[in-house]
Amino acid sequence: MIRLELLVELNYAIDQNGADFIFNIHAAHTPAQTLSGESLRLSQDIVPRIHTDAATGNRSMSLHAGPGQLKVSYMATVDLAHYRADPAQLAEVPVSSLPPDVISYLYPSRYCQSDRFIKLAISEFGQLRHGYSRVQAIRDWVNKRVTFTPNTSNSNTSAVDTIIEEVGVCRDFAHLMIALSRALSIPARFATGTDYGADPALGRPDFHAYVEVYLGERWYIFDPSGTVIPMGLVRFGTGRDAADVAIATIFGGVIGQAPIIRAVAQEDGSRDIVLPRHCMEALSTDHGGAAMAAI
């Protein structure tokens, strides 16, 4: 089991009109990702609405904050007992057999215009053996072709830009991998959370964006940016792309500061708590199709 002590602290200055916020900073609830402790503190005296989505386990928080400062502090002890699978056993699922709530992850979205990539995806990956290894080939292709370069992309940058300019940050790697996967009729979605194991040269601990692909009967983790140890990723939200699960979607006149993030893995041999490490198995924090109704 993996255990991470998580801290997220966000600070905003809100203008005289107040502002609405939708946050995606809670660790998702899934059978494989559970919480042994959690606390949320808001510096304003407001009661947020927290909604858990049954299909994804996302917990989004919406609130209206008044003028002045808003500080949001979230702490959690997150336990990860990944579902692990042998990549060789993970098949792509024919469209006509996909669960209904997975279908929408085949469709193009704001930042993943998969409809435009069909010919390219088939040229590059159409001849490969279907299954996990093909998805891994897409991941490797994106990882090799795109160079991680801060400040080369912005909130308008999409897969169409990244495939041409070949630079970006984790979000851009994720969007391109998603677009290529969907172009091959493989459901793929965008996941956000905290990074783990990133080279300190890339900067302070930060939020991370990665990819989940539906294979066999659940969603598996891929990190096309190649910057983290996937086993140490805490999942906040999953969605079609970055538009759906922004850390904070803000409606109003707000100035934000750089977030403070900490994700520290625990180690305790006596309780079988180990550090995240690179591994060859396929990892999922998702419940399988059958478990869904039970949530």
How far is it, in rounded angstroms, from Cα 46 to Cα 28? 22
Within 10 Å of residue 46's Cβ, how many Cβ atoms? 11
Q: Which of 165, 202, 259, 262 binds a copy of itself (CB under 8 A)?
A: 165
User: Which among 67, 69, 65, 71 is positioned nearest to 16, based on CA atoms?
Assistant: 67
Q: Is 257 in the site for a copy of itself (CB under 8 A)?
A: no
Tokens 């897969």, residue? 159
Tell me which residues in 47-76 interact with a copy of itself (CB under 8 A). Answer: 49, 51, 53, 60, 62-64
Tokens 């305790």, residue? 268
239, amino acid identity: G
Q: Which of 194, 244, 276, 285 binds a copy of itself (CB under 8 A)?
A: 244
Q: Which of 94, 129, 199, 201 binds a copy of itself (CB under 8 A)?
A: 94
Q: Is 127 in the site for a copy of itself (CB under 8 A)?
A: no
Q: Is 145 in the site for a copy of itself (CB under 8 A)?
A: yes
Q: Is 248 in the site for a copy of itself (CB under 8 A)?
A: no
One symbol per residue from 186 to 225: x for binding a copy of itself (CB under 8 A), - otherwise; what is it?
A: ----------------------------------------
Q: Is 20 in the site for a copy of itself (CB under 8 A)?
A: yes
- Antiparallel, parallel or unpaired: β 218-222 and 207-215: antiparallel
State both tokens at 112. Answer: 């993943």
Q: How far is CA 117 from CA 103, 120, 121, 156, 185, in A?
A: 18, 5, 6, 18, 11
User: Which among 231, 134, 225, 125 is positioned nearest to 175, based on CA atoms?
Assistant: 225
Q: Is 109 in the site for a copy of itself (CB under 8 A)?
A: yes
Which residues form the interface with a copy of itself (CB under 8 A)? 20, 22, 49, 51, 53, 60, 62-64, 94-96, 98, 100, 103-104, 106-110, 113, 115-117, 119-120, 123, 145, 147, 154-156, 160, 163-167, 185, 239-240, 243-244, 249, 251
